[in-house]
Amino acid sequence: MREHGDGNPHPAPLPRGEGGSWALVLVGLLLVLVGCSCKKQEAAPAPADPQAARRGRSLFQRGESARGEPLVGLLGPERIALSGPVAACSRCHTPSGRGSLEGGVEVPDIRPESLHRARLRAALDVEDRSRPAYDRSTLLRAITEGVSASGRKLGTTMPRYVLGKAEREELLAYLERLGESPDPGISPTTLTVGAALPLSGRLGEVGQDVADVLRAVFAEVNEGGGIFRRRVELVVEDDAALHAPGEASGPDATRRLLERGVLALVGSLRKGPLPSDELLRSEGAPLVLPIALGSGSGDDDSPIFFLYPEESEQARLVVQHLAREDEEHQRLRRRPLVVVRPEDAEGRAWARAAREEALRRELPTPVEIPLVDGAPESAALQRLRGTAPAALLYMGPGSGLKALLAALPPLEVEAPVYAPASLAEASVVAGSSHPVLFIYPPGVEAREEHLRTFSAFLQRHGLRPRHVAFQLNAYAAAQVLLEALRRTGADVTRADLLLHLEELRDFDTGVTPQVTFGVNRRVGVQGAQLVRLNPENGLLEAASPWVPLSP
């Protein structure tokens, strides 16, 4: 071999004449090529175990092993420990492995086609970043020791991961398949999402209305070309557990949707936490703005993103509001808060939230009055005579609130009653002049504009405004999902979708207050407005400015 003027080695001319033979040379070259081919075949990595790769996906995308243990990475010379989602490889390399620009630092592409190809030094490179192709051992060394295939130390922004034997095998198996196949629900022409809804029974009409709104929103998007030229399609599984409690058998509707292979879930109706929530977490499949019929808004790192705070959080909001309003004369320190609630899980959660918030603000422990047979316990009510409580926080059925409002005037209790807006009905407050303030997360300031927007949408699609609160939530859920999909781009993955949901800030759904999520924030609207019910026209009227809910 010798170098020409361009600096590249070129083969010497083939020998001619005596002592040289074209045939012998060609035979020799063939033998060399065959030998090289054999060596390449021997060095080729063994196919990745599909099951190990599936378990490794959780490490890469969510920073958690298939056994529920957090991924741990040590950052910089100080070896600062990162754990769980913040240590996930996808945070910097992106869920697709394409790399990114993180804090001004170039994060490389780590897909197999990049790692298994040698990197040459480019003419404009300031530093020599060339390296040979990675194999299994050098890739593991890079992950755990921060050393490149060339033996060069990787930058301090690359964590040095602490991996057990099983985690090593699983992560390497996943990296061998990274980018090979799309996540469930993704095809070249469609994005398939699901909703778990009751389609018969007491809530069947509600479920049908929600499904109709979701389909209509997606139809408008599809008519405009879809999301990066993919149509958004909705599949619905009948949630038998909602319309026939205790009679459902087999996998619940959420599990069936995941087994069918949907990218995400949107606008499902649900009563509190479900066993399938753990499957959502392990699959990394987001559930966008479910319509909650009960308590349970999920953990801070859950894949479930809610629109409004659950009712127990509304009790906390009232305590915060009263404390802010009362800073000057400190009535709350002398006069008790009274919590009226049923003896069930939701009632206990309501009381616990009020009690914990009072403790945080160094206020007296609230007095609790249970509901007995749907009405406040009579003996406990009698003890309120002469105590002049600062406020009463009610949670329970409408009949119990009606009974409470009737019982307070004879006791000469004038303190206002605060209750969830789900109880704001004329039949509940009829005949009572006692002050009642309802906690209304959607707010009333922009409600007329929101209803005009939604009414025009319904008319375009020939739909009726029947269960408006549910229909509005479904419309908002579809808009939030679509916005996150647009921000994710053409190379969508579940993990990317989760990241862009977390990054949603002040998003206007058109029918709700602006929605903001975060890494540790899974409720989009953090606050509410206090409202009164006008008994003459049945409309809600503002009784306070917007009340933010503090962490």
| Other CB atoms within 10 A of residue 103 CB | 8
Distance (Å, whole) CA 141 – CA 144: 5
What mean pLDDT comes out for the span 121-145?
Answer: 81
Q: How far apart are the first and last CA of the chain?
A: 71
Q: What percent of the chain has pLDDT over 70?
A: 85
pLDDT digit string (tens) for 72-117?
Answer: 999 888 899 988 888 889 888 887 788 877 666 788 889 888 898 9
The pTM assigned to this predicted structure is 0.76
Could you tell me which residue, 496 or 406, shows the higher pLDDT?
Answer: 406
Cβ atoms 416, 340 nearer than 8 A: no
pLDDT digit string (tens) for 460-492?
Answer: 999 999 999 999 999 999 999 999 999 999 989
43 has pLDDT over 60: no
Q: Residue 125: pLDDT band by 50, 70, 90 thresholds?
A: low
pLDDT digit string (tens) for 229-288?
Answer: 999 999 999 997 776 655 555 678 999 999 999 999 999 999 888 888 988 988 889 999
pLDDT digit string (tens) for 371-424?
Answer: 999 899 999 999 998 888 999 999 999 999 999 999 999 999 999 999 999 999
The H or E element containing residue 391 is strand 391-394
9 has pLDDT over 50: no
Hey, what are 86's tokens? Answer: 């913040």
What mean pLDDT comes out for the span 452-466?
Answer: 96
pLDDT at 96: 78
Distance (Å, whole) CA 350 – CA 340: 9
Size (the chain), residues: 551
What mean pLDDT comes out for the span 223-229?
Answer: 96
Q: Residue 536: pLDDT band by 50, 70, 90 thresholds?
A: confident
What mean pLDDT comes out for the span 513-532?
Answer: 94
Domains by residue range for the chain, with CATH? 50-177 (no CATH), 190-309+445-520 (3.40.50.2300), 311-440+533-548 (3.40.50.2300)
Torsion, CA 27, CA 29, CA 31, CA 37, rounded to 10: -150
The H or E element containing residue 190 is strand 190-197
